[in-house]
Structure formats: structure tokens, C-alpha cells
Chains A and B, each alone.
Chain A
Amino acid sequence: MMKHYFNDLVAGIEASLAAAPDNKSPRKLYALEIAKLGSRLYSGENRVAWCGIAAPFDILSAMNVTSCFVEFIGAMLASTGLSTEFLEEAEHAGFASDICGYHRAILGATRKGLMPEPDFLIGTTCPCSGGIAVMENMAAHFNKDLFVLNIPQQQSAAGIRYLADQIRQMVTFVSDHTGQPLDEEKLRAAVIRTNQARKLIAETYELAKQTPSPTDGKMLANFGIVMALLLGSDAAVEVAQAYLDEFKNRVKNGISGSKEEKLRLMWIQNRIQFKNPLVDMLEKEFGAVVVIDELNDITWDEIDPDDPYTGIARRAISIPFNGQATHRIDHLKKLAKDYKIDGAINPCNWGCRQGTGSKGLITEGLKEMGVPVLNLEVDCIDHRSFADGQIKTRMEAFIEMLNDRPSPWG
């Protein structure tokens, strides 16, 4: 099912791009590369590793391993309207409905044979306890070897060294399973491509800060977290370049991403992955545009190609979901200031102890700088409990409140 889905998606986007070669939408290029990744995962012809979110995908790419964090499949199932069957399968197998929807969908998909058998698994303790438990479940289900990367909480010398050493061990583990040692030159080239993509993405985000922003509420949805899957590849550089070119063009010609940008919003954590009318409604009815997602930021320095493990370890530790809530709140405050945000929306993904668990502290932190937060209560994968009308009403009230107050940025 997924194999056909991704193959059809690739064919469809390629046909669309071929039909209008002068109009290469960056979002389409991005969707094409993601579809190609899905296609490779399900082709049965590639070495596959199911991973945790903080895995070093550029290293795995340099070692010819098609790798992906499992939550990506949970999101795909939701966006295509297929998640219910797998959520129910997981629940019937005894996984409580209080567990994160991403993880329930994956656990159900694994049991129903929808997840391709991996060659091995790379778990990461960041961002959450639930994610590493899913990897243990999948390793047991497929009877495949699991390597765990413990991501320290702090950017201390000891923490960076610990993670860098683990990544070196991971390389040995992967080599043992592929029968191919790491080609240092390939890794070097992958790191250079990662740095190129990093620079282009950083410039793109810089342009997105403009008022009005060249982005709309959808162009960069899920972008930061999913682009990590492409790091180390030419595709990451091409997609990033396409975004930068598009945004430069828009800024130069005074084209904003949305028709009317009355209010600028920040989306906290991940998007609601199943089809829903909220972002469109905000934009079209209220001129309220999501100009920044929490995870659309570069929080790490360029990686030294001569010492890649240290830089890659630093990158994994730097992600906003890692460490204490103050680290995350400081990051959200920085984004709110840089993007001149009027208000923030937190979907509070039900079942996410890690991200949603800081709801109150985040609300308090942003409130200190005059940025109100609308906390929804949504399972971002499981549409069965989605109260469309109720959430719309709350959003309307939130926008009304934002319209009635001065901008925190003068």
C-alpha cells in the first residue's frame, strides 16, 4: 500500500514539475524528495534503518543506508487519512490510547505489516521516552538489532564527548551490519552538503522573518524536522536552494506569502498532521499567518568536516526539545522576538509527555514577553477525537483577543 502510494506520489509530482518546468515550487521539490525517500524505504531494494528523531541521517546516508525516523510514517498515515486502522490495531494489542498518536500509529502499522522490515534500528533517547520504547518494540517485533544513542541533556564537554563516542560506535555497528566500512571521503562530502543546506536554510529562515513574511502558513509546515532526513544529500541542498531562491524573489518583488498579514503567529511543536481547516481558516478569515514553527530553526553550528562526530553530537544535543524546559522556552522567546509574533498556538499533542508536558511553563514564559498562547487539546495524529467546531470557536476568540490588543512589538 505505502509502496504504491509513494511511487504514485513521486510520479505525480514529477509530472507536475515537468508540465511547468519554469515554475518549480520549492514545496513541490521538497514533497518530491520526501516521496522519493518513502519510495526507497518501501522499495525492498535498499538497506533500511528505522530511527529515532535525533539520529545522524547524514552519516547513515554516507553509509548507503536509507533511514527515517518512525514518527514520519505516523504523520504520513495521518495526512493520508489512513491512521485509524493502525491506531485501532495498536489499541487492540494493548497499547493504551493515552500513548502518543504518532507512536500508536507506528506500533499498529508494525503489527499489521505496513512498516518495511529494517536491516537494523537506531534509537535515540531524545526527544522522548515513548520514542525509545517504540524502537525497542520494533526491534523485538522484527527480531533485528537495535543501537541506542543516549542524547545527553546538556552541551557540556562530557556530554558532547559521550555522544560523539557513541556515534563512532554506531558507525561500527552499521558497518558490521552492512559489511561495508565507512568511506571517510563520503562522510566528508556528506558533511559539506549538510553545511551547505544549513547555510541556505538559515538564510531562508532569515528572510521569513520579514514583515510581511514571504512564507504562508503551509510552505514551511513540518519543514525543519523533516529536512533532517535529507541532510548529507544533494536533495537537501537543492530543496534548500529552491526555498531560498523563492523567498529572495518574493522579498525583492514585495510579494508576501499570504494575501493579507494582519497577525503573525508561531506554531509550537508539530503540526496537526491529518487534514483540518485551521491554518487556512486563520489565514483566509482573519489574516492571521503562521510565519514560524518552533522546529524551523537552525540551532547548531557548521560541522567541521575534519571532526564530524563532535559537530554532529553538538547538533543532536542542541535541538529545542532536548534538555530543560528553560532551554526550550528561551528558544521560543527568541523566535517570538525575531519574527515579531503576536500570538502562539500550541496544539498540545495528547500523549506527548515530553513536548506537551511543558505547556504551562511555556505559556507562562511567553506571557512574560506579552505573547499569549492558545493551548488546544488535540491528538495530532488521531482525528477521531478532533472537535473541529469547538477548536474553531476557540481560535476565533483567540484572534479576537489578539486584534483587541496592541502588538507586543510596538
Chain B
Amino acid sequence: MKRLIAVVLAIALICVPIAMGAPASSSALEKKIADAPYQIWPAKARSNSPDYVRAAIKQRNAQGDNCKVVLGTSEFRWVYPDTVSSHPANFFGNNNYGMDTFLLGQPYCQDLWHAIEVGALSEDIPDDKVVFFCGITWFMDYQNPAKCFRLSFSPEAYADLMANPKVTDETKAKIQEKMIAYGVEEAEVYGGEAKSENLVERINSGIQEFFDDSKNWDAVLSDEEDDWNAPERELNRSRPVPEGRTAGQAQAPDWDAWLAQEKAEGADQTSSNEMGIYNSWYENGGYDSWRDGWDEWLTFTDEPYQETEFEDFELFLDVCEETGIEPLVVLMPLKGAMIDQTDYTPEVRALWYDRMKAICEKRGVAYVDYSPYEYDPYFLYDMAHFGWTGWVQVNRDIYEFFMGKEGQK
């Protein structure tokens, strides 16, 4: 009997602290991330892995990055500091402003992808706040929201959204209906719900999960797995977080100095044309190809914008509201000098801006409207992506949203 007591006490001594500490202890993935902090812009396999995103945010913040979640799409594609030094990966990464951005999202990630992402990650989003970059092109008639969703869909994020008790059954059902309408198999949408485990099965799977090291993170951590962004292009690869990024005392950005610097940088980088299009694309014939082909796709028949994308935007706001996440919606503009000649005239574009603003106002959601900057030559570096002065303005909105106007947080 005494021996039995001794053995039971020994088991308790070893197992209880492990069981209690297991959720908080570093997983194998966290250890890998901690050893090599990187991923300024997590590519597809990483963006689509909520486990990766949680571990990366946790590790980066543990190392003093104070990174905040910023949701968007291709505008996050990294550019060299000597091309657009105000890109947030350069702006926050190369300076100690007391915070950094966690840029989440890739090409094809539109409203529904982001709704699922917030539902999956809501408990792990710092400050319960996100900045959400919403693009007018997602809504245009040429766009294919169903295809975009199928190309970007993350089963792991969907499973985590469905397991989030804060998201109501009604919202989950709406998301499921949309997924099916967009071509995701019903078995995949409803498959997880049929699986219910009894107590013994749950204990078995819990123990298996605890000791399972078969989950190989190599694919998730490797740029080679990325089928969204060709890995052979250096700009598409993940970037190391700059060394010494948190060194010294955090400073508040000098916005006026940044704006002056970026006007000069923009003028230099767009010297080949009057429209503010970056030199290499313009000089290599990119603009000419775009101009020759726009009338085939930048056009519409009945309605200029697709209703389904507005519904998805509302679903994104629903998930934010239910999970207690406060969004700041960034309405991304288009370059007027390029788009005015298409069917999307200033009046047609105003329909989208006005409707998006009305939705935000009705729901009490903060937004920033950059439509007044459509004719600022250095605001966007091509048709739809922020450039020199544009990023300064957006960085300021990001910074003040998270840090306050004085940067005191």
C-alpha cells in the first residue's frame, strides 16, 4: 500500500505540472519560430495556418515586437526599402516606433476569407483590434469571388472558426452557405459536424495529440510550398525581421518628415511618366499591356459591383462584432489617372465608396476613406497598390489606431 501511494505521488508530481503547463508551454512550432524570428509577410501556407499565426504573434511579441494584426491582400507584397521605404514592413520593421505590423493575407483573400480568419483567431489577436484593408477591385464585375475563395480557403481556419463559441450559429450557417455557393464541397463544409467523440475517444485523441510529433511544420515554414507567390522571385520570399528592430527607446514617427521624404522618393521612382506609376513596370511595358487590355475586363454589363461581396463584407463585420474584435476599415482607392478612361468612372467608383461608408456608419465601425487621394500621383504606385505617400498616410492610421494619437500606448 505504501509503495502504491509512493508511485501515485510520483505520477502526480511529474504529470500534473506537465498537464497544467502544456497549453502554455512552447510547442515545437513555437520553438522553431523563436529560434528564427522572421515572416514580415507570412505567405500562403503560413497565412492559412491559424496555429502558425498564433505561434508567430506570440513569439514575436515575446521578443518585443509588439506586433498588431493588419488584414489585407496583395498590397502587403514586400518592396525593397530603396523603392518604397514607407511600406509597413520597412516603415515599422526598420524603425523602432514601439509597434510592428503582422501583415496577414495574400492575393485572393477577400471578405469571406478574412471573416473566417477573424473567427479562427479572435482569442489571439492583440488588443482585440484589427486593421482591415478592403479593396474596390474585389467587388468589381470582372472579379470572381467564388474562385478567389476556393484558391484561398483554409480548412484549418474554418475548423477553428466553427469551434469558436463566440461566433453565433446563425453567422456560422451564413458562412457555410457562402462556402457552398462558392464551390466548396458540402462534405468538407459539414463533415466536421458529424464527428462527435465519447469520453474514451476524447481521452485517446487528447493523449495522441499531446505526444504526436508527426505534424511536420516544414511545409508551413517553407517558402517552397507557396503556390500563390512564385518562390523564385526574391520579393515573394519571407523576409527576416530586421536585426535590432527594438533597440533603444521607441520614437513617435515624424509624419511631416516622412511625407516630404516620400514625395521626393515617389518623384524619383516614377520619373518615367506623369501618372505616378513606378518606373520599372512602366518602362518594361507593363502599363502598355494593361492599357491595351483593360477594356476586356475593367468593364461591366448590368451592375458595376457584386452583391455577394457586400454580403461577405457584412459577414466580416458580423464576426468582428460577435468576437469583440474592433476593426478599422481601410477603403483602398484606385489610381484615377489610370481608371478614369474605363467604365469605372469617378461617379461609378463613388457608388462603392458611398455604399461602404454607409455600411460602416450604420454599424458603428471606424473607417478611413482614401478616395480623395485618387489623383495624388505618389499615393498608389500602380492601379491599386499603395505607394510612397499612400503608405505614410495608412501607416499613420494604423499607428494611431493601435497606439493612440500621441503614441502613448
Asked if A and B bind, the verdict is: no
